[in-house]
Chain A
């Protein structure tokens, strides 16, 4: 194909944009790996942080992040998938309720994450937790009505909900309607059709979407600032009502709250590297599942 002048211009511009993006990514990652890698050691990964937050390791933050991510997934993903199934498989295209839910989901997706944090504080901690305390306990110290890993996880579950719903719906839409018809024509109920035909065929897409949503939620800091992340807490949470350390929040704390910013820098980079590896490995998992499920569909 011969390129005209306009083609060359367009190719040049897009190539330039690509170079800028790759350069930024390389500088960012290079910096983090360069400064962070030397800090990482078995001790760094398995020890509690020292009282100055700089010495010692970041194990409680790793543990807290993983536990929070797990709880968030358990709480949010089933609801999100169920909602998408309702919207795509059960609700009629003209249904008012479905329209309303879709509008709500789209708006939810556009809400800044700090607002989710405030919502978590107001709804989960003060309203739900506070009401539980009022019902169950005398008005002494709050038991449920205080920041904890439970409320932080639920807040993040709400944050990731729209992503799960939208990606699941997309995955469901890729299942051709003629195999739904085939299933129904064989005397399958709608539930059997969803469970035996639609979901197995959308599995790869759903899993990919879920993992991407989870990996986004795992790295969010803003929503959990008010809801349960602790600045410095050198022991592991053992109860849903405990507060917890979080890698992202630990980065924020090291960068802004540390008395000696220069001394904190290596630890800071090490923590960032661990957080990135955690979310990257989740993304990698998503990529692998996606390519596998595509391969499975081929004859």
Chain B
């Protein structure tokens, strides 16, 4: 125990004197509680996986794992993007529509510019959406919810406008581009490899560079960051750009997987992404969103989908289960780290 600790304890003890319920110097957490807080979500995930494996012989197979991974690619990319913005302390509701926009743009541009430039333009357009969101939230002084809600509607309009409401097909001759979505390296699909690569790069950026460090600082206590001489706005804008960029990558992959771009349907990723981010915040007991947790969160949602499908639950039951898991996991975490007064309802 350090000198300072001793002193403050001594102080607390003397002040207690006759005090019965004086505030203790520091709350001591029992080992069981700490273990549950760190591993609770993962334990639930493992238990569910074991349950499904017992109930269905097809669940715990390499090909099913591959299926789950393949189906979660787009959602995982979008959720990882959203993670940055939530870490930075804001919200991004435009991610789902950014997927659609980027998907349409790449399909639209392939015949004009060729696939590689089309991808570059689609990703640049996505980044531009992020810049607009970021600028409005910082210099524009608007709330993240309002800005990205507005941008979401605008993008939806643009998407339908440029496609006329019809899907945009990609020619089957574009084998190189379609390989990105449909190719395989051994048993593993190329999109899964792209997902893993993006995840690793993002993880390094988050854990080992100023990017992750400052976005986390800004999101936790912008005032402290401001007084430490950190350019707060720059990092908030960057978080929005990263979010949009990851949705953009997801859009390109969507087009490559289905050989076409759909004018609508991207908004479904949004709610899934929020569920994954908040579920992910409970992973490893961090209590705040992090990329690895988000990935676990997405995996959990898709694993449950697959497992319940195999066991024969109706589609509706899956959403009920996912919703309950989200509330219970986040709720249990909130119970485990109790603040003195809780007065935030967002």
Report whether chain A binds chain B: no
- A residues near B (Cβ < 8 Å) are none
- B residues near A (Cβ < 8 Å) are none
